[in-house]
Structure 1
């Protein structure tokens, strides 16, 4: 008698072997969905949008949580600058009235002419610093949108990792720490 037990003509190459390869495939699919197509003009667009309307570049990048920070910085610096501009104008107007021979300003019994000059100079200097801070906040908004758009297109590979390490030394009772840089081929 002749018996043939299990002849296989072809193997199924699409069959997944184990759970580790299933997890790997799921991880690769999630990563593929997150990766956007490379757009070399995206950083320039984000910077342009933020220059036209502050915060619009952050919205273009999908970083909506940064928009309140941008407006908070711009509004705060502008309001403080405006406050010091008003104080400077008060001191300047009072000093000008005194130069014209009037003694009825709001600081008549409190401040001398030299005090008014000093206060004008100090508030003018402070106002100018806050003006520079307002401009710096505006420029930082543009730079942030540009850099964020660049970093979104940066290829982050699983082959390159930096792992911080903290170990407890039983003999000395102290903690030791280090950093490991690994590159897998």
Structure 2
């Protein structure tokens, strides 16, 4: 009987006095009022002609479309690619002229710079080799020029998309202790 009274008294105390173990996290004591209205990032309406304009600028002067899109870091890459092609074209053209002139001198019966070190067939093969490399260099130059135009166009198209910080795609590597090997993969994370 005495235990019933003690238990009843304890239950009474629990319900009368709100005993809590932690603070209420849902209670808002003093909400701060913001003076300014927070906006999303500066919204710019999509300009449908921007991709064509960027491609046109890149066709006029390589790298100008990237500058129009605000991707200034791509301009040195464009000129490095085109410049590499031009360098190898000039180098291969110089070597092709050298072997061609030696072959012409040999056919005319004159002394050429290679003398007896290189045969006539080797001179013909060297001319073909450097002519082919000249043509490949022209293709590299044209490829970087076209890639420059395509990049400016695609980059202008992709500027309308909002990439949220809540969505991320990261490479992931885990070590498997059982097999002793690494596992590679890609993790897609979305933060609510």
Pairwise same-fold verdict (TM > 0.5) = yes
- Matched residues in 1 for 2:113 and 2:171: separation? 65
Gaps of 5+ in 1: 1-16
- Worse-matched range after superposition: 124-133 or 54-63: 124-133
Using the size of structure 2 for normalisation, the TM-score is 0.69
Unaligned stretches of 5+ residues in structure 2: 1-29
- Residue 86 (structure 2) pairs with residue 75 (structure 1): no
Quote the Cα distance in structure 2 between the aligned partners of 1:165 and 1:118: 48
Local SS of the residue matching 2:41:
helix
Equivalent residue of 1:179, what SS? Answer: strand
TM-score (norm 1): 0.71
Matched, 1:89 2:97: yes
Give the aligned partner of residue 136 of structure 1: 143
The aligned residue for residue 161 of structure 1 is 167
In the alignment, structure 1 residue 111 sits paired with structure 2 residue 118: yes
Among residues 67, 72, 79, which one is paired with 1:64 in the alignment? Answer: 72
CA drift of 1:153 comes to 1.5
Residue equivalent to 2:7: none
Q: CA deviation at 1:170?
A: 10
Residues 99-153 of structure 1, C-alpha deviation per residue, up to 9 Å, x if partnerless?
1222x21112321111101111111111111111111011111111111111112
Q: Shift of residue 165 of structure 1?
A: 8.7
Count, aligned residues: 159
Return closer, same or farther for 1:168/1:128 CA change in 2, 3 Å cut-off: closer
CA RMSD of aligned residues (A): 3.3
Choose from 63, 71, 74 the match for 1:55: 63
